[in-house]
Structure 1
Amino acid sequence: MSETAQTSEVEIPRPADDRLRRALFRFRQSKLSMLGAAVVAIVLFFTAFGTILAPYPEHVAGAVDTANRFQPPSLTHPFGTNELGQDVLSLVMAGATVSVLAGFGVVLIGTLIGTLVGAVAGFVGGWTDEGLMRLTDLTLTIPSLILAMAIAAALGPGFTNMVIAISLSWWPGYARLVRGEVLAAREEVYVTAARAIGANPSRILFRHILPNVVSPIIVKMSLDMGFAILTVAGLGFIGIGVRPPTPEWGTLLSLSRSYMPDYWWTAMAPGMAMFFAVFGFNLLGDGLRDILDPKARR
Structure 2
Amino acid sequence: MSAAVETGPRNALSSRWQNWRRGAYRFRQSTLSIVGLVIVALLIAVALVGPYVVPHPEHVAGGVSTAMRFRPPSAQFWFGTNELGQDVFSLVVAGSRISLLAGLAVVVIAAIFGTLIGAVAGYFGRWVDEALMRFTDLMLTLPSLILAMAIAAALGPGIGNMVFAIAMSWWPGFARLVRGEVMAKKEEVFVQAARALGAGAPRILMRHILPNVISPIIVKMSLDMGFAILTVASLGFVGIGVKPPTPEWGSLLSLARGYMPDYWWTAIFPGMAIFLAVFGFNLLGDGLRDVLDPKARR
Which residue type is aligned with residue 105 of structure 2? G
Number of residue pairs matched by the alignment: 291
Distance in 2 between residues matched to 1:151 and 1:272, nearest whole Å: 28
CA drift at 1:151? 0.2
Distance in 2 between residues matched to 1:90 and 1:36, nearest whole Å: 24
CA drift at 1:292? 0.6
Partner of 1:272: 272
Distance in 2 between residues matched to 1:161 and 1:10, nearest whole Å: 48
Distance in 1 between residues matched to 2:141 and 2:19, nearest whole Å: 40
Give unpaired runs (5+ residues) of structure 1: 1-5
Which residue type is aligned with residue 23 of structure 2? A
Per-residue CA deviations over 1:105-140 (Å, capped at 9, x if unaligned) read 000000000000000000011111111001100000
> How does 1:1-298 map onto structure 2 within 5 Å?
14-298=14-298
Structure 1 counterpart SS, 2:170? coil
Percent of aligned positions with the same letter in both sequences?
68
Which residue type is aligned with residue 271 of structure 1? G
Root-mean-square deviation (CA, aligned residues, Å) is 1.5
Distance in 2 between residues matched to 1:126 and 1:11, nearest whole Å: 39
Give unpaired runs (5+ residues) of structure 2: 1-5
Distance in 1 between residues matched to 2:134 and 2:13, nearest whole Å: 47
Which portions of structure 1, spanning 4 or more consecutive aligned residues, are displaced by more than 4 angstroms? 9-13
Structure 1 counterpart SS, 2:135? helix
TM-score (structure 1 length as normaliser): 0.96
CA drift at 1:53? 1.6
Distance in 2 between residues matched to 1:133 and 1:49, nearest whole Å: 43
Distance in 1 between residues matched to 2:10 and 2:19, nearest whole Å: 17
Structure 2 counterpart SS, 1:282? helix
Distance in 2 between residues matched to 1:52 and 1:142, nearest whole Å: 40
TM-score (structure 2 length as normaliser): 0.96
Per-residue CA deviations over 1:241-274 (Å, capped at 9, x if unaligned) read 0000000000000000000000000001100001
Structure 1 counterpart SS, 2:75? coil
Which residue type is aligned with residue 268 of structure 2? M
Which residue type is aligned with residue 278 of structure 2? V
Structure 2 counterpart SS, 1:14? helix
